[in-house]
Structure 1
């Protein structure tokens, strides 16, 4: 439901995106590959000298709707730069301090206490205080479109200048996610008073970059915070960034993005299309970095439609999907097939459940046809399309303009035709896909979700929150609510495993794959991506050209 890498992060989430994380059991990896070069020996080249200063340019896949972290549903590297999180995870996945130097949870799980650092100041020079943190948390709980992520907050107190206490009506295990992201980061209270609803136009906080210049449809530019000295504990550089400026360019056309990168006008190319990877690997000086997304792509059903109230229809569609051609041909092999409700990159993933789902929904056209026949769908006139009560078995598949998703949709269209299902592909923008899904004006859709906590299932499947697949199951509701209040990790994961078993037998969707995100870099030194948060440590990067 979210992702940030900080989508690079997807509130993918359901289509949202954030870099919120809970447990150190992600299977994300980061691999660097050098280009292969030519057969003949290369002429000796002088090593480029890294230097401080200059402008770092990133081609970003998505332009943020706002720089206000509490009004957006999408946090990623583009709009999170002015901010810091209370906590983080290091490169091994261990929970570590950031703006909060220590934290504790009460025995009953209802009170979270944060002890803040005393040396942090806002971009304005004013000290960061517990009162500022209190105001920011309260503001999120009041105005954010995703405020439910913070859980049942009862009140927030600043008990002294550097201590914040957050009280809950009941234990809320996923709150750790909020402390790892920038939704509830301390915001400068004076700028909040000055700008109010327009805070996102000129935000002030504590992050490594500040003073954004926004050119809608083109770019977003930050300058470094020269007073920054509280970087991540796992960063090589915990002080001010080496580069003077950070520029995100928003180039929608893949050919343009690749051309600009090859010309050297872009240093970091995020989300490289799989069709260009081999080409870029052969460009001298280019490095390819890969990591598994903290979420997955899925084929969603609108479960409130009558056709999907027959579980046999949903199961038949799931059996008709062959993921291997999707991964190999639509994604050039840069993905992992998934069958169960949670991928390996999200805590709560169960190999038992994954194997159960893989066995139950192994590619089987004949069995899928049999299930459809039992549900009343047969091809009576020999045209290849099944009918029921004289009506052809035809469904609309809604998806965004993402070229990879369009390739996936075409493969699904051909596969589902094998069982007599006529798929009509409808391509539109992401906002329309989400809007139609929320309104229930859809049948099938392709979307992504991501959140590094099994609470994503509550946000996707609990009756009152299921705004995409419109799923409802009282037993699942009960289990997902229990998962939110169970603080002991092992017990909590067992609760989700029980819920996932139900979701396999009564599928609200067809899980498809986890993408392998590919980033290309050039003319820089010090690039690293935290596989547990999805954050690029821009403060560590120096230009070499």
Structure 2
């Protein structure tokens, strides 16, 4: 799928019905006919992935953009035609060597605390993103090439990179890199997590941990992206995000009208939503890395590529994904999702379920003997892999883990699921003291491969990276570095994806969807194109 097609899909409002699967009542009840009305507070039921911090620069949770986009604007906008358009930056120039970006900034913008948006404000935000004290899991990847910046005049900033970085503007459009008040960053940075101050269409009001976050309309807002459907303040008086951890609770809250919309619609309820004439539905696949179980390639047993390939071949991913998602999820075909610009569609089908091949690979790796439990052994050691997981591990992933454990046991691999205390889990993650771990990484560029598999992103004492597979492969490194420096990196990304299929650093399970369901009184609720997350600026309530 091209970047243009991806962006066009993401910008389709939830109320159009084109992808909404509006059910028996058709699309009519979900159209944004008539003049938008001002007023009302929209209530969104979120899943249980409550952000630990509301500083967009220090937040990597799935709910991060939902919680911070209402408050903070981005420097640029990733448009429906796949191009980068102005927002807080009116224009920009990129030097021929790709090392310098000069931004001309939009004038007249104010943060919620009265601070002025200008070149110094942008510089302050870049420095905050980069600052180790921010503890940003994104800094090591998205902002790693940022070196420094120079204020040319009040509304012009020259940004210098340490190396060319083709996706720089793409990632600056994501809500994770939204702008925060420079006054807050300089005078009270410790307050950003609890009470972020941005320049966005909504002003942060209150965060009741474990329950909800509320916002009120910014009456002075008049600098939304040109791709928005209106100008001036948002239509809604307010916005409330409720954290409803249990799937059944979240769905029942929508069905009863307790909330206007729910994010991450439980897969078991999707068909019920589509059949309900009072509800609308839309789902898009999030670009980036699919939900996967990463294998620690830096220590036994998964330092042996044949053992990794064996486990990958032993797991019936299609049956597992179909079962846990009630047939709603796409099985991943590689190490980027099908909606990611740069996805190598020609490599689909290369991962095959083949237990006989898996057994043969383990024989070739020297794991030929078995103990009384049927677990393979070599030199007196059992073929064991440790998979530490959090106590609040999502139920779907736990089902996948248990079924993967069973499949591995059939070929003689003992996967031991562990639930250590939270601090121990964090410490082990940083030290690489695990054999398996799980997750995904959503982003609007195939540079996710560099984030997840470049040896530069292996966590060290000095730098926290996202290469949790701890893969170090010269070919992958070279291809991904070339891609970052090339204006049209399709070939490098294709080769990197092919190489990763050979190396098997992870078991990719499914392309993660963003399924949203809503009452049809909700109009013009849309996804942000840069990162498929609900966006409320144009939204209004027909009530």
Is this contact kept in 2: 1:34–1:288, CA < 8 A? yes
Structure 2 residue matching 1:220: 3-state secondary structure: strand
- 1:484 aligned residue: 484
Q: Which residue, 512, 517, 522 being the options, matches 1:520?
A: 517
Output the CA distance in 2 between the equivalents of 1:394 and 1:368: 16
Q: 1:428 to 1:297 in 2, by over 3 A?
A: farther
* Secondary structure of residue in 1 paired with 2:232: coil
Residue equivalent to 2:58? 71
SS at match of 2:510: strand
Aligned to 1:544: 542
Task: Please give the per-residue CA displacement for 1:362-414, whole angstroms capped at 9, x wherever unaligned.
Answer: 11111111111121224646754333334443333344521211222233233
Contact 1:339–1:510 under 8 Å retained in 2: no
SS in 2 for 1:300: strand
Q: How far has the Cα of 1:280 moved from its partner? A: 3.1
Aligned to 2:44: 58
Partner of 1:26: 6
Deviates more, 1:454-463 or 1:432-441: 432-441
Instruction: Quote the residue 1:327 is aligned against.
Output: 321
Partner in structure 2 of residue 36 of structure 1 = 24
Name the counterpart of 1:371: 361
Q: How far off its partner does 1:474 sit?
A: 2.6
Query: Which ranges of structure 1 fall in alignment gaps of 5 or more residues?
Result: 1-21, 39-46
Q: Which runs of 5+ in 2 are unaligned?
A: 13-18, 27-32, 460-467
- Matches of residues 85-164 of structure 1 in structure 2 within 5 Å? 85-143=74-132, 144=134, 145=136, 146-148=138-140, 149-164=142-157
Deviations 1:214-261 (A, max 9, x none): 111111101111111112222212321111111111122222222222
Q: CA RMSD in A?
A: 2.7
245 and 365 in structure 1: CA distance in 2 versus 1, 3 angstrom threshold: same
Residues 184 and 410 of structure 1: is their aligned pair in 2 closer, same or farther, counting only changes over 3 Å?
closer
Contact conserved, 1:398 with 1:446, CA < 8 A, in 2?
Answer: no
| Partner secondary structure for residue 539 of structure 1 | coil
Which residues in structure 2 correspond to 1:376-525 (within 5 Å)?
376-378=366-368, 380=370, 383-400=373-390, 401-426=393-418, 435-467=427-459, 468-486=468-486, 488-489=487-488, 492-522=489-519, 523-525=521-523
SS in 2 for 1:309: coil
Structure 2 contact 115–182 (Cα < 8 Å) conserved: no
1-side partners of 2:100 and 2:57: how far apart?
A: 22
Q: Counterparts of 1:267-278 in structure 2 under 5 Å?
A: 267-278=260-271
Q: Secondary structure, in 3 states, of the residue corresponding to 2:172?
A: helix
Q: Is the 8 A contact 1:115 1:163 kept in 2?
A: yes
Could you tell me which of 212, 215, 226 is aligned with 1:222? 215
Distance 1:73 1:178, change over 3 A: same
The number of residues matched between the two structures is 509
Cα distance in 1 between the residues matched to 2:204 and 2:490:
42
Note the C-alpha offset of 1:78: 0.9
| Residue matched to 1:12 | none
Distance 2:421 2:538 in 1: 35
Relative to structure 2, which stretch is displaced further, 193-202 or 228-237?
193-202
Asked if structure 2 preserves the Cα contact closer than 8 Å seen for 1:301 and 1:445, the reply is: yes
SS of residue in 1 equivalent to 2:417: strand
Give the match's secondary structure for 2:311.
helix
Distance 1:165 1:87 in 2: 15
Higher mean displacement: 97-106 or 476-485: 476-485
The question of whether the paired residues in 2 share the 8 Å contact of 1:49 and 1:544 is answered with no
Q: Which residue of 2 aligns with 1:285?
A: 278
- Structure 2 CA distance for aligned equivalents of residues 229 and 167 of structure 1: 30
**Match of 1:16?**
none
Deviation at 1:207, TM superposition (A): 0.5
TM-score of the aligned structures, taking structure 2 as reference length: 0.86
Shift, 1:163, TM fit? 1.2
Partner Cα separation in structure 1 for residue 421 and residue 213 of structure 2: 22
Q: Is the 8 A contact 1:70 1:184 kept in 2?
A: yes
CA shift in 2, pair 1:283/1:379, >3 Å: farther
Q: Please give the alpha-carbon distance, in whole angstroms, between the structure 1 residues aligned to 2:420 and 2:396.
A: 14
User: What TM-score, normalized to structure 1?
Assistant: 0.86
Query: Per the alignment, in what secondary structure is the counterpart of residue 58 of structure 2?
Result: coil
CA change 1:193–1:155 in 2 (3 A) is closer
**Aligned-partner Cα distance in 2 for 1:49–1:266:** 23
Q: Secondary structure at the match of 1:67?
A: coil
Query: What displacement does 1:49 show?
Result: 9.7
The change in CA–CA distance for 1:453 and 1:128 in structure 2 (over 3 A counts) is same
Deviates most, 143-152 or 230-239: 143-152
Residue equivalent to 2:16: none
Give a deviation string over 1:328-373, Cα, whole Å, max 9, x none.
1111122222232222222222123x24xx33x3111111111111
Distance in 2 (alpha carbons) for counterparts of 1:153 and 1:393: 43
- State whether residues 57 and 178 of structure 2, in contact with CA within 8 Å, keep that contact through their aligned partners in structure 1: no
> In 2, Cα distance between the equivalents of 1:428 and 1:517?
30
Change (3 A) 1:58 1:432: farther
Deviations 1:430-461 (Å, cap 9, x if unpaired)? 98766533322211222212222222222222
Contact preservation (8 Å) 1:152, 1:170: yes
Task: Please say if residues 78 and 170 of structure 2, whose CA atoms lie closer than 8 Å, have aligned partners that are also in contact.
Answer: no
**How far apart, CA to CA, are the structure 1 residues paired with 2:284 and 2:316?**
24
1:244 aligns with 2:237: yes
